[in-house]
């Protein structure tokens, strides 16, 4: 395989970056057609994607598209959708796309169609959700379930939590809570507000071996058993997992286990049984609309030419800013209260997928990979860290995400919110020159100028529905996939989380009075300080 940095397409981009990096967006926008040329409007996806406020020229875009072609993004995408084992370090296919394959066309893994199994679990989810929401499924005391607690971490928490928050406007089922942290405060603060007789715990863990989740699940089980007796476990616990024997060993009836499979990565699992908390909250029909939105984006990603392919363009712009303009972070700024958890969700999706530095040939790469993803909802950020985004010494590319129509109109709040969105992207792009500053003494002029030329993407959803949310999440998933292919990474393993887990399990007995292990002097001193109290 030719090294990425030695490819002619990469070198052409390097040369282009040397010419373009000092270009001014004010100059580039003298082309009055720029916004029209660099915007993708897709009515079916109900999405408008304007990337004109990036430091790019027509030539940059042509070179980026050539890079995508030479890396065969579409060829790899087809392999993923068809169930080839593209997660090569774990020898697994990557089939979150099959979970939302609304066409129901067969998808084969080792010669077996996985769609019937997927459909079975979906219909089991529907059945359970309908019973829970209608009150047919009760707790052991006969009470209707009013509160559902999802116990999980990482992909078994962030996805469903983000979606439940994003679709809160549609919530008409039991209240949904999320417990993830092994800090006892998380479960304690949650349980103290709940009535055990009306509470259902969902233990969500792909492996069913994760320390945090099992610790929290055992604490919840002790609480339920203490209040309602051992027989109550089967009415108050369900499990979402790939590991049937561990679920049974925990004491959850296999009838109450909702299965998924190794071909679904944790951070891509909200479309699977891991999404049952979503379905409890908004109903199974709306959960299916979420799947439909993602499926529509899957078709777009597979079939649309690169030039108008939203995830491919998002990925290429990210590579441009990261690898050629030297930006180290990428911010996500939702201008929607409902999307407040999107940045945290995308941190795992992106950084756990592409936060790697060894390529397909097992070699260390000599270029940057995943950026640091961070962000907060829009106007709140404006009153804290946007100072740095506008005038700091670092350039921070950002995705601004907003809604044309809010789920509910409240006075003129939405106009005010979106005026801020549009103003911020305008200010970041075009800045303020010293001769445009009025009413200021000479001395303050340098402090009050804005350099501009700070790249942003503007993403407008027509509205926030399960469908458009599915579209948006899948767009980011495929952006991450595309970047992983270009960087030559396995985006679907996560070996980087192992070492810390191993060391924590070695240290745990040292904190509970057993013998001290060998450590560096800093770690030993910290453990001694903890043990001395």
* Contacting positions for ligand F6P (CB under 6 A): 153-156, 205-207, 210, 213, 266-267, 352, 494, 497
Nearest to 331 by CA among 346, 341, 316, 320: 346
Nearer to ligand F6P, 253 or 493 (CB): 493
**358 class by beta-carbon count within 10 Å (0-12 exposed, 13-18 middle, 19+ buried):** middle
Burial 478-489 (b: 16+ CB within 10 A, else e): bbbbbbbbbbbb
Here the contacts of 66-71 (C-beta below 8 Å, separation 24 or greater) are 66/9, 66/12, 67/7, 67/9, 67/10, 67/13, 67/316, 67/319, 67/486, 68/306, 68/312, 68/315, 68/316, 68/482, 68/486, 69/306, 70/7, 70/9, 71/485, 71/486
Residue 240's DSSP bridge partners are 204, 258
Nearer to ligand F6P, 260 or 374 (CB): 260
DSSP assignment string, 435-472: GG--S--GGGHHHH-B-----EEEEEEEE--HHHHHHH
Catalytic residue among 30, 32, 192, 383: 383
Residue 241 CB, nearest approach to ligand F6P (Å)? 8
Query: Is residue 408 flagged as an active site residue?
Result: no
Nearer to ligand F6P, 224 or 273 (CB): 273
Are 298 and 365 a contacting pair, CB within 8 Å? no
Residue 267 CB, nearest approach to ligand F6P (Å)? 5
Are 322 and 368 a contacting pair, CB within 8 Å? yes
Are 34 and 28 a contacting pair, CB within 8 Å? yes
Nearer to ligand F6P, 73 or 238 (CB): 238
Q: How far is Cα 123 from Cα 113, in angstroms, rounded to an integer?
A: 17
Residue 239 CB, nearest approach to ligand F6P (Å)? 11
Q: How far is Cα 73 from Cα 81, in angstroms, rounded to an integer?
A: 12
Residue 179 CB, nearest approach to ligand F6P (Å)? 13
Give the angle 86-87-88 at the CA atoms, nearest 5°. 90
Residue 159 CB, nearest approach to ligand F6P (Å)? 9
Catalytic residue among 78, 434, 501, 506: 501
Residue 262 CB, nearest approach to ligand F6P (Å)? 11
Catalytic residue among 212, 352, 376, 477: 352
Nearer to ligand F6P, 42 or 207 (CB): 207
Residue 207 CB, nearest approach to ligand F6P (Å)? 3
Nearer to ligand F6P, 156 or 219 (CB): 156
Sign of CA dihedral 87, 89, 243, 223: negative
362: DSSP letter: S
Query: Is residue 501 flagged as an active site residue?
Result: yes
Nearer to ligand F6P, 274 or 389 (CB): 274
Dihedral class, residue 269 (left if φ above 0, else alpha if ψ from -120 to 50, else beta): alpha
Phi/psi of residue 290, each to 5°?
-60, -45
Q: How far is Cα 17 from Cα 324, in angstroms, rounded to an integer?
A: 6
Nearer to ligand F6P, 176 or 317 (CB): 176
Query: Is residue 352 flagged as an active site residue?
Result: yes
Nearer to ligand F6P, 215 or 524 (CB): 215
Nearer to ligand F6P, 90 or 143 (CB): 90
Classified as helix, coil or strand, 266 is: helix
Instruction: From residue 331, give the alpha-carbon distance in Å to each of 60, 71, 135, 254, 342.
Output: 22, 26, 42, 42, 11
Residue 366 CB, nearest approach to ligand F6P (Å)? 27
**198 class by beta-carbon count within 10 Å (0-12 exposed, 13-18 middle, 19+ buried):** middle
Residue 499 CB, nearest approach to ligand F6P (Å)? 11
Residue 494 CB, nearest approach to ligand F6P (Å)? 5
Q: How far is Cα 390 from Cα 447, in angstroms, rounded to an integer?
A: 12
Query: Active-site positions?
Result: 352, 383, 501
């Amino acid at each position: 395989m030719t090294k990425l940095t030695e490819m002619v397409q990469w070198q052409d981009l390097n040369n282009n970056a040397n010419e373009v990096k000092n270009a001014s967006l004010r100059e580039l926008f003298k082309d009055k057609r720029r916004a029209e040329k660099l915007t993708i409007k897709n009515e079916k996806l109900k999405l408008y994607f304007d990337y004109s406020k990036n430091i790019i020229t027509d030539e940059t875009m042509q070179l980026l598209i050539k890079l995508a072609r030479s890396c065969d993004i579409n060829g790899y995408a087809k392999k993923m959708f068809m169930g080839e084992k593209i997660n090569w370090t774990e020898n697994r296919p990557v089939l979150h796309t099959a979970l939302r394959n609304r066409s129901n066309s067969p998808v084969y893994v080792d010669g077996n169609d996985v769609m019937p199994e997927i459909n079975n679990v979906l219909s089991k989810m529907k059945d359970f959700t309908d019973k829970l929401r209608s009150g047919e499924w009760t707790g052991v005391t006969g009470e209707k379930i009013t509160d559902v607690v999802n116990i999980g971490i990482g992909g078994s928490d962030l996805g469903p939590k983000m979606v439940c928050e994003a679709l809160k406007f549609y919530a008409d089922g039991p209240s949904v809570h999320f417990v993830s942290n092994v800090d006892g405060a998380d479960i304690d603060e949650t349980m103290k507000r709940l009535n055990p007789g009306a509470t259902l715990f969902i233990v969500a863990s792909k492996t069913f071996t994760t320390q945090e989740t099992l610790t929290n699940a055992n604490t919840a089980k002790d609480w339920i058993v203490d209040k309602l007796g051992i027989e109550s476990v089967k009415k108050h616990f369900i499990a979402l997992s790939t590991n049937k024997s561990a679920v049974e060993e925990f004491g959850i009836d296999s009838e109450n286990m909702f299965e998924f499979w190794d071909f679904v990565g944790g951070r891509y699992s909200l479309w699977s049984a891991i999404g049952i908390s979503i379905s409890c909250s908004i109903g199974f029909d709306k959960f299916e609309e979420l799947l439909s939105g993602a499926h529509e984006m899957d078709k777009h990603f597979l079939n649309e030419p690169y030039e108008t392919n939203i995830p491919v363009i998002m990925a290429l712009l990210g590579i441009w800013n990261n690898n050629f303009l030297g930006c180290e972070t990428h911010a996500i700024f939702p201008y929607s209260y409902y999307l407040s958890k999107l940045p945290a969700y995308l941190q795992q999706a992106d950084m756990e997928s592409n936060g790697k530095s060894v390529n397909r040939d097992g070699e260390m790469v000599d270029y940057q990979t995943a950026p640091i993803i961070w962000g907060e909802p829009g106007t709140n950020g404006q009153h804290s860290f946007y100072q740095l985004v506008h005038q700091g010494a670092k350039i921070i590319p950002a995705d601004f995400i907003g809604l044309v129509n809010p789920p509910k109109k409240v006075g003129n709040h939405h106009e005010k919110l979106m005026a801020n969105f549009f103003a911020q992207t305008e200010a970041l792009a075009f800045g303020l020159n010293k001769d445009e500053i009025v009413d200021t003494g000479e001395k303050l002029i340098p402090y009050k100028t804005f350099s501009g030329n700070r790249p942003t993407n503007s993403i407008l959803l027509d509205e926030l529905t399960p469908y458009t949310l599915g579209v948006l999440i899948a767009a980011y998933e495929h952006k991450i996939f595309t970047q992983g292919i270009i960087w030559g990474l396995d985006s679907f393993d996560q070996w980087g989380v192992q070492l810390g887990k191993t060391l924590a399990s070695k240290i745990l007995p040292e904190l509970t009075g057993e013998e001290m292990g060998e450590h560096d002097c800093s770690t030993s001193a910290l453990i001694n300080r903890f043990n001395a109290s």
